[in-house]
């Protein structure tokens, strides 16, 4: 192979490495390819990558060429002071040694432990955005001395390896962060479940006695006990919201589907909110769909979604308001529309109202209550059923309409 052919082969090899680096984020595989290429291109016996640990202030072997993989090199440490790799890292410069026996910086303990003899060495810093993260070592060149071409190609490979390491470390950090978040989320859910359960029993006792007192109360006591009952009911709704947090991550596989007349689900939801609507003097207009309109859903979950939509309308509509529930049949789905004469929404709030814990009002001045998760649960449950939900409003103070779209059951499609 003449000089031109050899150079072309090396360039092709470098191009192959670039393709490999862009095709995977598995660090061990990436560095393995880089190490094999480094030894091949420089006509050396082996190559390794050592990474720097700022905690232990040592270098450790992170990857080696195929020829070295039977040796327990991975994880072995090399000190910063008293090693050729350490000198390359500290000075951020390539260090070339043609005879390690005559170089006092050579750390030969690794050779002794692995029954390997390092005779010559080329150490190249791994640098990413001015940060030195480790060293690429190429050992035992077959035909000394190391050449300018060796240093050039080793520098290119070191740059490629540095990018691969940085990307893989970022992916690993993201994976670990996600795992920690999931664990924290589970702890939060467990705590909420326990706290909600522990609050239910004393609250039930309080509401029971308060309701009894309300029936027996006279004069000023009627209003005072009424406030206790109202506050207890509000606390019960908060506990229910806390309990329902788990449905934010509801998946389709967790649903217990059955074919249900949509009218029945709407009636259940209306019944759930009727007392609260009457207490605020709202007029509820409900137009039920025909009995033939059925949906294949988890009855409990979808009833909850519809109840949340109605709760939202009742809560954000001032006293003596008007709330309308109607349906529209489409070619392959049915829409449930809940309209109110409430506080309305601005254009930039139409999507945000479905975000977890989003509050339409300022947290310090709001007076409608709620945790801001009801509509988030509606969206999660709608999507789990293969449906969707969206909001529309002509503007602040002009009410809003929330539309829940659900796939029709096959029997409804054939009717």
Within 10 angstroms of residue 215's Cβ, the number of other Cβ atoms is 8
Could you give the CA distance from residue 411 to residue 415 in angstroms, rounded to a whole number? 6
Q: What is the dihedral of CA 151, 156, 158, 162, to 10 degrees?
A: 160
**For residue 406, what pLDDT band results from cuts at 50, 70 and 90?**
very high
pLDDT at 1: 65
Alpha helices per DSSP H over 244-298: 262-279
Could you give the CA distance from residue 30 to residue 47 in angstroms, rounded to a whole number? 14
Give tens-digit pLDDT for 80-99: 999 999 999 999 999 999 99
Residues 6+ apart with CB under 8 A from 72: 114
Do both 49 and 166 map to the same domain? yes
Is the Cα torsion angle 383, 385, 386, 390 positive or negative in sign? negative
Instruction: Confirm if 322 and 338 have CB atoms less than 8 A apart.
Output: no
> Is residue 288 one of the residues assigned to a domain?
yes
Res 31 pLDDT > 60? yes
**Whole-number average pLDDT of the chain:** 87
Res 161 pLDDT > 90? no
Which range scores top for mean pLDDT: 161-170, 216-225, 381-390? Answer: 381-390
> Is residue 192 one of the residues assigned to a domain?
no
Write down which residue in 146, 176, 206 finishes a domain: 176
Do both 123 and 7 map to the same domain? yes
Residues 6+ apart with CB under 8 A from 265: 295, 297, 299, 302, 303, 306
- Mean pLDDT of all residues in 139-148: 93
> Residue 35's closest CA among 148, 169, 135?
135
> Is residue 152 one of the residues assigned to a domain?
yes
Instruction: Confirm if 116 and 71 have CB atoms less than 8 A apart.
Output: yes
pLDDT at 363: 43
pLDDT at 193: 78
Res 130 pLDDT > 50? yes
Strand ranges (E), 188-321: 257-261, 283-286, 294-298
What DSSP string runs through 95-148?
EEES-GGG-TT--THHHHHHT-----EEEEEEEETTEEEEEEEEEEESSSSP-H
**For residue 364, what pLDDT band results from cuts at 50, 70 and 90?**
very low
Distances (CA, A) of 340 to 16, 39, 134: 63, 73, 63
Res 169 pLDDT > 90? no
> Is residue 7 one of the residues assigned to a domain?
yes
Do both 168 and 261 map to the same domain? no
**For residue 211, what pLDDT band results from cuts at 50, 70 and 90?**
confident
> Is residue 281 one of the residues assigned to a domain?
yes
Write down which residue in 159, 176, 193 finishes a domain: 176
Residue 20 belongs to a domain with what CATH number? 3.30.450.40
**For residue 412, what pLDDT band results from cuts at 50, 70 and 90?**
low
Do both 271 and 140 map to the same domain? no
Write down which residue in 144, 161, 176 finishes a domain: 176
Query: Between these two residues, 285 and 233, which has the higher pLDDT value?
Result: 285
- Global pTM exceeds 0.75: no
Res 370 pLDDT > 70? no
Give tens-digit pLDDT for 38-66: 898 999 999 999 999 988 999 999 888 86
Number of H helices, E strands in the chain: 10, 13
Do both 270 and 169 map to the same domain? no
Do both 129 and 272 map to the same domain? no
Q: Which domain holds residue 312?
A: 255-414
Do both 159 and 53 map to the same domain? yes
Could you give the CA distance from residue 405 to residue 136 in angstroms, rounded to a whole number? 58
CB neighbour class for 63 (10 Å; exposed up to 12, middle 13-18, buried from 19): buried
Strands lying side by side in the sheet with 322-329: 283-286, 322-329, 333-340, 400-407, 388-392
Residue 371 belongs to a domain with what CATH number? 3.30.565.10
pLDDT at 325: 97
| Tally of structural domains, the chain | 2
Query: Between these two residues, 26 and 285, which has the higher pLDDT value?
Result: 285
Helix, strand, coil share (%) of the chain residues, nearest 5: 50, 20, 30
Instruction: Find the largest Cα–Cα distance for the chain.
Output: 109
Do both 165 and 281 map to the same domain? no
Tokens of 115: 């029954």
Unique residue bearing structure tokens 């490979």:
157
**What percent of the chain is modeled with pLDDT above 90?**
50
> Is residue 333 one of the residues assigned to a domain?
yes
Give tens-digit pLDDT for 253-303: 678 899 999 999 999 999 999 988 988 899 999 999 998 999 999 999 999
Residues belonging to the chain = 415
Residue 408, classed as helix, strand or coil, is coil
Could you give the CA distance from residue 52 to residue 85 in angstroms, rounded to a whole number? 10
Res 365 pLDDT > 50? no
Could you give the CA distance from residue 234 to residue 206 in angstroms, rounded to a whole number? 13
């Amino acid at each position: 192979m003449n000089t031109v052919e050899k150079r072309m082969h090396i360039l092709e090899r470098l191009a192959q490495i670039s393709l490999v680096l862009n095709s995977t984020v598995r660090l061990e595989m990436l560095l393995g390819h880089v190490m094999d290429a480094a030894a091949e291109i420089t006509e050396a016996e082996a190559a390794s990558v050592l990474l720097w640990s700022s905690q232990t202030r040592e270098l450790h072997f992170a990857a080696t060429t195929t020829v070295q993989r039977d040796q327990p090199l991975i994880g072995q440490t090399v000190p910063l002071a008293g090693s050729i790799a350490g000198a390359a890292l500290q000075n951020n410069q390539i260090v070339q040694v043609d005879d390690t026996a005559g170089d006092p910086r050579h750390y030969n303990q690794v050779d002794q432990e692995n029954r390997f003899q390092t005779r010559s060495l080329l150490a190249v810093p791994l640098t990413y955005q001015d940060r030195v993260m480790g060293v690429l070592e190429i050992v035992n060149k077959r035909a000394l001395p190391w050449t300018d071409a060796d240093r050039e190609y080793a520098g290119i490979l070191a740059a490629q390896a540095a990018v691969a390491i940085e990307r893989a470390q970022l992916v690993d950090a993201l994976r670990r962060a996600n795992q920690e978040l999931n664990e924290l989320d589970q702890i939060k859910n467990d705590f909420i479940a326990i706290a909600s359960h522990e609050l239910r029993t004393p609250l039930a006792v309080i509401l029971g006695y308060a309701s009894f007192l309300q029936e027996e109360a006279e004069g000023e006591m009627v209003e005072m006990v009424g406030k206790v009952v109202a506050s207890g009911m509000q606390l019960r709704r908060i506990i229910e919201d806390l309990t329902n947090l788990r449905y934010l991550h509801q998946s389709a596989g967790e649903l217990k589907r059955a074919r249900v007349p949509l009218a029945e689900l709407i009636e259940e939801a209306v019944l759930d909110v009727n007392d609260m609507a009457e207490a605020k003097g709202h007029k509820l207009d409900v137009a039920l769909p025909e009995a033939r309109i059925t949906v294949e859903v988890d009855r409990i979950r979808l009833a909850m979604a519809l109840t949340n939509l109605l709760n939202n309308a009742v809560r954000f509509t001032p006293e003596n308001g008007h709330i309308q529930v109607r349906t529209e049949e489409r070619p392959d789905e049915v829409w449930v529309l809940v309209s109110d004469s409430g506080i309305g929404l601005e254009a930039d709030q139409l999507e945000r109202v479905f975000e977890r814990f989003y509050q339409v009002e300022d947290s310090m001045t709001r007076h409608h209550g709620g945790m801001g998760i009801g509509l988030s649960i509606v969206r999660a449950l709608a999507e789990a059923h293969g449906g969707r939900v969206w909001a529309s409003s002509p503007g602040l103070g002009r009410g809003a309409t929330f539309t829940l779209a659900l796939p029709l059951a096959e029997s409804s499609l054939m009717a």
